[in-house]
Structure 1
């Protein structure tokens, strides 16, 4: 382009020179000719210098244009220029890409056309304050792409003037913050569930203490009442107490208050049991299938809690397929690098358990509240709303994460991720059932709940033990200090005023390093309870307990050498 322009200029100059040569020109003297030649040379040099400067200026202009293109059009954020009515006067390529519209088609379009109806007020206030105050403004709202897909955007606006007309314009940067919003929502949901969990855990703990008396005394009455009607009443009380205890266990599971046991768990074995149970109990129109590819299928945790969680997911899938369908359990091994900030995704090698149904699916609001305790979409009397809440708690309590993929009419897939236990599948022998058996020894019982204390005393007395009862840890410590040689076993509560169960056990061990102790709690085995067991407590007794539960733990503890 530059060479062609120079050739045209040369040609025009030659034409003018030829026209001048045709005129009568006075022949100059030699001196005058030399002066003219010198002047011509000077003009030639000046022209060459001007041409060089023009080329440099042109090159600088091209560089500036390229830089402007890279900085403006190829910027990682969208740039928009808006007129006072809100019309788009100019947009860069990124803004056009974010909105899914060709750049030329954006010009003279109102930006509010792309704002979701629910966020129109946010955008209106943002633009109003910007033009009225002239101060920089920012807002976060949802925009809709041309193809109908929404995304979260952050708009930051500053005032300026149009270079040609001098009219006020708004310079807007547009950033896609969808991923940030998703992470933020996950963190907020996690914090909310944590707060609900703390409340649920506290309620369940206190309720368990009361249930201990109801269930325990009903259990003792069942075999002692000779009147059949009274015995039936006691059995019904025990049955109701057992159901209530199951509900508190689900609350504790949701509250992530621990596992009842921590052992290597073969998930494939549990899935096989769950699948077989479902095949026998649900509608035959629902086909239950398994695709178990994980090797090894091992995690560390409580097999009964994991089984209950998977069974709850299976039953929930059943309810989503009233007209039949397909329920598929699948496993595989995945390796995750780093979790996102605010994410609960475990890192490293994980076992993925998927439970997929071909049911009715669910909408955004249901997905958002899915794991909240007592939330249910079923009719009255068809569920407590605790099933998925306990699944959530169990998974989180095992160091895992749970994800939901579902759309209305498209079915649902529940994905559980648990840290993998890299060890071969062991042969696990069946544990024989334990029945209530007489035992002998002197047992020191300490519990600040009078009902639970009285129950433990009555149960141990019935089993044949001599019992010393203490209503608080300080009294128990003084009693043990005076009579530790005559005390064979201590049954201590974990949560007490004045002194915790852990502090009491450490004080007892300072008196007698070989002290035998059992830990009882309305919470389950986790955190502080596990640390007390690790410190030397022989076993954990879950409240509410039955006569058989207590008999097995006490007999085993008394039989151990101190």
Structure 2
């Protein structure tokens, strides 16, 4: 393929076939050739790529939805073991199950990020607090002789981020660093200006925009030249047993947040993530209080029986009065039959017969004054979730997390009643 110049100074890409032909008179040989513009070929390839990408996204979202529903049942029922008087060894096995399900959810999230179909629900987020949580999450599994040092150069502005997704970014980077570190991994959060050049930068990120930089630095051998060339290539890994989806997933999630990623070597590997600052106030998540559910009625609507069972038991253990519905149809029948409406409705987004949004609409038409907590193994980004947008719980989750958010949704409704 060659660039062919036109008389007007423009050019176009074309495939060229040519050969030299001798002339009978012995003069200089002639160049005979043909060329064909590759514009139509390129358009066809782009159309094929777009169709393939769309199929990959549909496959990823479908797999994530089903997989996370299974993980929700596994994690939830293992989490319930803590409610019973069982030997400590059994509790240990249950913790292992929960940790394994959590890792499964991590892989599911990475696949979604890789496909570009991970829905992002940003809110003002304290990145320093999020870093501290990540360090505590990985601390029990630190390799022998390796320490993690965390520094926050503050005060930092809040960042506009989906906390769950950015937590996944940080866990990915920290886990990668711990695998190669000799003695220490350092995490540093600070205000920063965006460098002129980065390995990846979202087109949505303005160079003049205020950003917060999160730096993950290890004291290992650093990236090889080949690795630096393939940083964001899916399934490329120089590590035995590596999946090659960690950094590509990081890139996908940072892209969805309108951020940037830079990578270089400096006495080890250094990865910088830049996230746009937020000018909105932080939304504090509620803490779970004793007897959190006393006097509160909850409807659970989900088409996964195992998830419903675990969720019901977990909420009833906190004092909530719970009613379960295995389908949209049965929930609609209860609403239209004039039955007392709940204080909080926990609605799975993706179900047959219209899913959670259909139940929400019926509740609104019936004069529901309570709150809604949305939950899903994967909520499509094109679904506009009405109601309490700050309360969305991605599967899988623990019973305690569910109870905490249900309590928070109830408080929000009560605050609205008081304001009126």
Q: In 1, distance between residues paired with 2:320 and 2:139?
A: 47
Q: 1:496 offset after TM fit, Å?
A: 0.5
**What's the counterpart of residue 259 of structure 2?**
400
Q: In the alignment, is residue 376 of structure 1 matched against residue 376 of structure 2?
A: no
Q: Residues 209 and 452 of structure 1 are in contact (CA less than 8 Å); yes or no, is this contact kept in structure 2?
A: yes
Q: List gaps (5 residues or longer) in structure 1.
A: 1-70, 79-136, 140-154, 176-180, 337-342
Q: In the alignment, is residue 545 of structure 1 matched against residue 397 of structure 2?
A: yes
Match of 2:366 among 503, 511, 516: 511
Q: In 2, distance between residues paired with 1:333 and 1:441?
A: 48
Task: State the aligned residue count.
Answer: 395
Q: In 2, distance between residues paired with 1:553 and 1:540?
A: 9
**CA deviation profile, 1:193-242 (whole Å, cap 9, x unmatched):** 77655433332221121122222122222231344554444444334334
The 5 Å alignment of 1:244-283 reads: 244-255=104-115, 256-259=117-120, 262-265=122-125
Q: 1:476 offset after TM fit, Å?
A: 0.9
Q: 1:471 offset after TM fit, Å?
A: 1.9
TM-score relative to the length of structure 2: 0.69
Match of 2:29 among 132, 151, 167: 167
Q: In 2, distance between residues paired with 1:229 and 1:495?
A: 37
Q: Residues 359 and 410 of structure 1 are in contact (CA less than 8 Å); yes or no, is this contact kept in structure 2?
A: yes
Q: Residues 264 and 301 of structure 1 are in contact (CA less than 8 Å); yes or no, is this contact kept in structure 2?
A: yes
**What's the counterpart of residue 205 of structure 1?**
65
Match of 1:361 among 211, 224, 228: 224
**What's the counterpart of residue 388 of structure 1?**
247
Match of 1:345 among 190, 203, 227: 203
Which fold has the larger relative contact order, with Cα–Cα distance below 8 Å and residues 6 or more apart in sequence?
2
Q: In 2, distance between residues paired with 1:332 and 1:190?
A: 36
Q: In 1, distance between residues paired with 2:282 and 2:367?
A: 38
**What's the counterpart of residue 119 of structure 1?**
none
The 5 Å alignment of 1:65-464 reads: 138-139=14-15, 165=27, 167-170=29-32, 196=56, 198-255=58-115, 256-259=117-120, 262-265=122-125, 298-303=158-163, 305-317=165-177, 319=179, 332-334=192-194, 344-349=202-207, 350=209, 351=211, 353=213, 359-363=222-226, 367-368=229-230, 370-372=232-234, 375-380=236-241, 383-402=242-261, 414=271, 416-418=273-275, 420-421=276-277, 423=279, 432=287, 437-464=292-319
Distance 1:536 1:352, change over 3 A: closer
Secondary structure, aligned partner of 1:469 = strand
Secondary structure, aligned partner of 1:388 = helix
**CA deviation profile, 1:128-167 (whole Å, cap 9, x unmatched):** xxxxxxxxx942xxxxxxxxxxxxxxx5869999899263
Q: 1:492 offset after TM fit, Å?
A: 1.3
Larger Cα-atom Rg: 1
Distance 1:401 1:500, change over 3 A: farther
Secondary structure, aligned partner of 2:357 = helix
Q: 1:430 offset after TM fit, Å?
A: 9.3
**CA deviation profile, 1:389-409 (whole Å, cap 9, x unmatched):** 431232122133546668xx9
Q: Residues 237 and 244 of structure 2 are in contact (CA less than 8 Å); yes or no, is this contact kept in structure 1?
A: yes
Distance 1:392 1:478, change over 3 A: same
Q: In 2, distance between residues paired with 1:371 and 1:516?
A: 43
**CA deviation profile, 1:337-394 (whole Å, cap 9, x unmatched):** xxxxxx9532424438466777242417x7447452x6532123xx554432431232
Secondary structure, aligned partner of 2:159 = strand
Bigger Cα displacement from structure 2, 192-201 vs 268-277: 268-277
**What's the counterpart of residue 481 of structure 1?**
336
Bigger Cα displacement from structure 2, 547-556 vs 232-241: 232-241
Distance 1:367 1:320, change over 3 A: farther
Please tell me the root mean square deviation across aligned C-alpha atoms, in Å.
5.4
Q: In 1, distance between residues paired with 2:217 and 2:316?
A: 52
Q: Residues 296 and 423 of structure 1 are in contact (CA less than 8 Å); yes or no, is this contact kept in structure 2?
A: no
Distance 1:367 1:434, change over 3 A: farther
The 5 Å alignment of 1:516-527 reads: 516-523=371-378, 527=382
Q: Residues 480 and 487 of structure 1 are in contact (CA less than 8 Å); yes or no, is this contact kept in structure 2?
A: no
Q: 1:444 offset after TM fit, Å?
A: 2.5
Q: Residues 444 and 487 of structure 1 are in contact (CA less than 8 Å); yes or no, is this contact kept in structure 2?
A: yes
Q: Residues 325 and 359 of structure 1 are in contact (CA less than 8 Å); yes or no, is this contact kept in structure 2?
A: no
Q: In 2, distance between residues paired with 1:469 and 1:411?
A: 53
Q: In 2, distance between residues paired with 1:476 and 1:502?
A: 12
**CA deviation profile, 1:234-265 (whole Å, cap 9, x unmatched):** 44433433433344344445454234x63334
Distance 1:310 1:186, change over 3 A: farther
TM-score relative to the length of structure 1: 0.54
Distance 1:229 1:397, change over 3 A: same
